[in-house]
A and B are shown apart, each in its own frame.
Chain A
Amino acid sequence: MSAPLIEASELTKQFGSVQALTGLSFQVMPGEIYGLLGTNGAGKTTTIKVITGLVEPTSGWVRVGGFDPLKHPIEVKSRIGYVAEKPILYDSLSSRDFLEFVASIRKLDQNAANRMVTQLADAFDMAKYFDAPIATLSMGMKQKVALIASLVHQPPVLLLDEPLSGIDAKSSRIVKDLLSLHTQKGGAVLFSTHIMEVAEHLCTRIGIIYQGEVIAEGTLDQLKSKTGSRSETLEEVFLKLTNEETEVADKTRILGDVFFNNEAA
């Protein structure tokens, strides 16, 4: 059996008085798209930042391709492609300038980089925006630039934090197909999202992250079996596992009373 490409063990992270991660552990094997599924503030972004080496964990450890991001940052960063939740790039650079910078730092071959960028930019319909400063691009366009930058060096590990937010349906489909192809060739993807449909259709395995730890993981069927019903959607499974089903029902009832009863009155 091959070694995991991403491994996190007992990760904790404290930001002042906020405990963002509370003993989170999981593994992503080659050929897997692992979906980190959680509510806002559950710890998905912090987890991905710890794996990239952007944030140092308070305790626990991470390995990417067998390397520790803190002890071997260059080795880890050479093996990852990262898309942040909010695409924070250099606003005054154009997409072309930015991709030239990324390709230069990654020491990519000119022809190979050109080929990749040309194909990706063409697929994402970037012609009108390729030479415009990033500051002037829409959120979706910025996300596309970040996606191209994460794929241009064909890394074995992709760390994608809500990569489809703001992206049009066509590009979104292209990204999903690309991720499937990537895993077919032995790559691994860690994909964070709070959109159930995306996780349900794209991910090989799903880790449900709640209050800083993975409370359940497995394939969709395995998760369903944990709740004891095989006919439920991922959303229903998620709400049951996070014990939020009753809370959601109560809040919907209260909101319904406030809005519709007032309107009727």
Chain B
Amino acid sequence: MFSSIMKLLEAWRLSRLPYKEVVYRSIADERGRMWWGGFSRGGLGGDAQNDYELTKKALRIAKFDKSLVAIFNVLVAVIPFTAQFFGSLILGLTSAISLSLAVTFGFTALYSIQTFSSFVSAESSALLSTLPLEQRDFSLITLFSFVRSVDYIVVGAILSQTILVAYYTGSPFAVLVMLVASVVNAVLAVAVALWFSRMFTKNLSRGGRSKGNSVLRLVFIMLWGSLLMGVSLLISLPWYILPSLETVLLSSSQFSTLLFCFLHPFSAGITIANLGQPVTAWSTSLIAAVSMVGYVIVAWFAGNWMLKTVKRISHGTGVKMSRETAKDFSIKTRKPLLGYILKDLKISSRNPATAFFFALPVLETVIVSFMIANFEVLRASTLLVSSFMGGIFVLLMPLALLTAEGTGLEYTKTLPLNVNRIITSKTLISTLTYVPVPLVLLVMAFLKPLTSSLIVFIPFFVVLAVASASIFEIQLFLSSVTTGKIAAIIHDLKKLIVGVTTLIIPLAAYAVVFFVSFSHVFAVFVMGGASASELALAVYLLRRNK
């Protein structure tokens, strides 16, 4: 017994080695950020030359990221319960538990997806494989290194949910069931993330030029984007559906209640809430409880599948790469800017961390449509707010495109390439992802009456502001080199603040002029002028680059 515990502890200690490798691979792209400094003739810093320092930095960043996500995960797990704490009637324990589980599921899956791609693709255990270890110990160490990726996040969510249920119900049995439900939730989230990461890596690793493979890759990129987008919706939509959720969950007469009884995490929510104090008909709780047992069984199988998958990875058979023989070696040359744009699109859509940005147009369209669907008349204020909301998402795109360059940037810097081409490429891609917003608003303008026909130009002026904001953000990024996570966050915040300000100025110009003159014509004219001036300034700064 004692020796088994010692063996487990030793395996846990050794698992830090493959875990370090996974972390380093997933954060190695940070190195690319340091290399951007070369464009401003800063050259490489001493740190960038030192792989040991870089690895230590990567681990510190990973710990910081993991802790931050864990704290955030605990917060989102706790928030649904707080309404009850303050005596709100909107949210009962059933919906609080369900929402808490749903949101932590989303966050755990989202974080895991980012990390597991490295775990699946990296030969994370390659170093260990040279040591005289038994295969069982080797698999155990790999499993622990996998667990290390999500330990804080999962433990934080499970503990906070269990403690809150203990506080609200005071029932030991309810606490036990909540513990089981939280564990099931975490296992399912991690299994979904591992499955997605595996599929993504497998399909991207295949390469090949056949149309079938290209379509397959596109499908998986879209699936990837949809999953992440789904998580984003999961985070925001509960707050829209909250007021009616409790009613729907607890109404005994509705078919939808029955449906929720079969769905995780609602089945858990209904079961646990009823253990504290009966809130639904006994038949409803029984169905929910049986359904929950079903999910426990599913989680058991999912857990086994994960163990087998991790074992396969440790044996080096995680993802099989297939290669197609090229029929010819022909290449297509394009104009340099188009060549750069295509390269940007390819690398960012194949990078698990940035691929989801291609779902941005869909996300923006959904949000904007949601925002204006309920208005009978389209007012300037509605268009201003919806355009701004859509634009905010786009401001993340240039930074993501820069990060996606990763280490390959060092090669690009040896090509006869003007930095303006890089900025233009990323600005065009970012701006194009925003275009669906004005188009949706234009369609809405045809369907709904407007307070003034001229206000239809508002979103199109915002397109100019988005382009200017992207240029300013990238210029700022290229003009300096940051080292250390905190400095990088502050630096990123500065860029975002500049971006948001650029986006706000034309909108504020419209609002101020309208309140002074009460003239839509004049306000639209001034807004157009402000957007055009911003773009002119951005282009001027762009042209000053060597």
Say whether A106 contacts B415, CB under 8 Å. yes
Say whether B343 contacts A90, CB under 8 Å. yes
Q: From residue A140, how far is it (CB to closest CB) to chain B in Å?
A: 15
Please give, as numbers and ranges, the residues of chain A lying within 8 Å of B329 by CB-CB distance.
Answer: 96, 114, 117-118, 121-122, 126-127, 130
Q: Which of A54, A117, A135 contacts B413 (CB 8 A)?
A: A54
User: Does A107 sit within 8 A of B, measured CB to CB?
Assistant: yes
Say whether A131 contacts B416, CB under 8 Å. no
User: Does A215 sit within 8 A of B, measured CB to CB?
Assistant: no
Say whether A77 contacts B415, CB under 8 Å. yes
User: Does B332 sit within 8 A of A, measured CB to CB?
Assistant: yes
Q: Which of A16, A96, A109, A121 contacts B209 (CB 8 A)?
A: A96
Complex CA gap A16/B335 in Å reads: 40
Say whether B333 contacts A100, CB under 8 Å. yes
Q: From residue A123, how far is it (CB to closest CB) to chain B in Å?
A: 10
Complex CA gap A90/B334 in Å reads: 18
Please give, as numbers and ranges, the residues of chain B lying within 8 Å of A73 by CB-CB distance.
Answer: 416, 546
Q: From residue A206, how far is it (CB to closest CB) to chain B in Å?
A: 24
Instruction: Report A14-47 CB contacts with B as 1/0, cut-off 8 Å.
Output: 0111100000000000000000000000000000
Say whether B339 contacts A131, CB under 8 Å. no
Complex CA gap A109/B328 in Å reads: 18
Say whether A109 contacts B333, CB under 8 Å. yes
Q: Which of B49, B331, B408, B412 contacts A99 (CB 8 A)?
A: B331
Per the CB 8 Å criterion, the residue count for chain A at the interface is: 58
Known contacts A114-B331, A121-B329; decide if A90 and B347 are in contact (CB<8 Å).
Answer: yes
Residue among A52, A84, A107, A122 with the highest chain B CB neighbour number at 10 A: A107
Say whether B408 contacts A107, CB under 8 Å. no
Say whether A131 contacts B343, CB under 8 Å. no
Please give, as numbers and ranges, the residues of chain A lying within 8 Å of B442 by CB-CB distance.
Answer: none
Q: Which of B38, B46, B407 contacts A88 (CB 8 A)?
A: B407
Instruction: Report B204-242 CB contacts with A as 1/0, cut-off 8 Å.
Output: 110111000000000000000000000000000000000
User: Does A105 sit within 8 A of B, measured CB to CB?
Assistant: yes
User: Does A93 sit within 8 A of B, measured CB to CB?
Assistant: yes
Complex CA gap A99/B332 in Å reads: 9
User: Does B418 sit within 8 A of A, measured CB to CB?
Assistant: yes
Please give, as numbers and ranges, the residues of chain A lying within 8 Å of B417 by CB-CB distance.
Answer: 74, 77, 105
User: Does A108 sit within 8 A of B, measured CB to CB?
Assistant: yes
User: Does B540 sit within 8 A of A, measured CB to CB?
Assistant: no
Say whether B343 contacts A92, CB under 8 Å. no
Q: From residue A76, how far is it (CB to closest CB) to chain B in Å?
A: 8
Q: Which of B207, B330, B406 contacts A94 (CB 8 A)?
A: B207
Instruction: Report B19-47 CB contacts with A as 1/0, cut-off 8 Å.
Output: 00000000000000000001001111110
Please give, as numbers and ranges, the residues of chain A lying within 8 Å of B328 by CB-CB distance.
Answer: 118
Known contacts A77-B415, A92-B204; decide if A70 and B321 are in contact (CB<8 Å).
Answer: no
Chain A residue with Cβ nearest B417:
A105
B residues 61-120 in Cβ contact with A at 8 Å: none
Chain B residue with Cβ nearest A109:
B333
Complex CA gap A101/B407 in Å reads: 16
Please give, as numbers and ranges, the residues of chain A lying within 8 Å of B418 by CB-CB distance.
Answer: 74
User: Does B325 sit within 8 A of A, measured CB to CB?
Assistant: yes
Please give, as numbers and ranges, the residues of chain B lying within 8 Å of A200 by CB-CB distance.
Answer: none
Complex CA gap A128/B49 in Å reads: 34
Please give, as numbers and ranges, the residues of chain B lying within 8 Å of A84 by CB-CB distance.
Answer: 410-411
Complex CA gap A245/B338 in Å reads: 55
Say whether A127 contacts B325, CB under 8 Å. yes
Complex CA gap A89/B415 in Å reads: 12
Say whether A136 contacts B205, CB under 8 Å. yes
Say whether A104 contacts B410, CB under 8 Å. no
Chain B residue with Cβ nearest A57:
B43
Complex CA gap A15/B338 in Å reads: 37
Chain A residue with Cβ nearest B332:
A100
User: Does B340 sit within 8 A of A, measured CB to CB?
Assistant: yes
Known contacts A99-B331, A127-B325, A127-B326; decide if A104 and B41 are in contact (CB<8 Å).
Answer: no
Complex CA gap A103/B415 in Å reads: 10
Say whether B46 contacts A18, CB under 8 Å. yes
Say whether B408 contacts A90, CB under 8 Å. yes
Instruction: Report A46-71 CB contacts with B as 1/0, cut-off 8 Å.
Output: 00010011111000000000000010
A77-B415, A128-B326 given; name 19 further pairs at CB < 8 Å.
Answer: A73-B546, A88-B407, A90-B347, A91-B406, A91-B407, A92-B351, A94-B209, A96-B331, A100-B332, A101-B340, A101-B343, A103-B331, A103-B339, A113-B333, A118-B328, A130-B329, A131-B326, A133-B207, A136-B205
Interface residues of B (CB under 8 A from A): 38, 41-46, 49, 121, 204-205, 207-209, 321, 323-326, 328-336, 338-340, 342-343, 346-347, 350-351, 406-408, 410-418, 546
For this complex, 21 residue pairs linking A to B, each with C-beta atoms less than 8 Å apart, are A55-B38, A56-B41, A74-B416, A77-B414, A90-B406, A90-B408, A91-B406, A92-B204, A92-B350, A93-B347, A100-B339, A103-B333, A104-B335, A107-B336, A110-B332, A118-B330, A126-B326, A127-B325, A132-B208, A135-B121, A136-B205
